[in-house]
Amino acid sequence: MHELSIAESLVAIIKEEMDKHDVTRLMKVKVKYGQISAIVPEALETAFQALTQGTRMEGAKLETEEIPLRARCRSCGKEFSPQGDDLYIMTCPFCQTEFGHEIVSGKELYIEEIEAE
At what angle are helices 3-20 and 41-52 packed, to 10 degrees? 50
Cα dihedral across residues 109, 111, 113, 115: positive or negative: positive
pLDDT at 1: 59
pTM for the predicted model, two decimal places: 0.87
pLDDT tens for 57-90 read 999 999 999 999 999 999 999 999 988 776 778 8
**Domains of the chain listed by start with CATH number:** 3-116 (3.30.2320.80)
* Confidence (pLDDT) at 115: 97
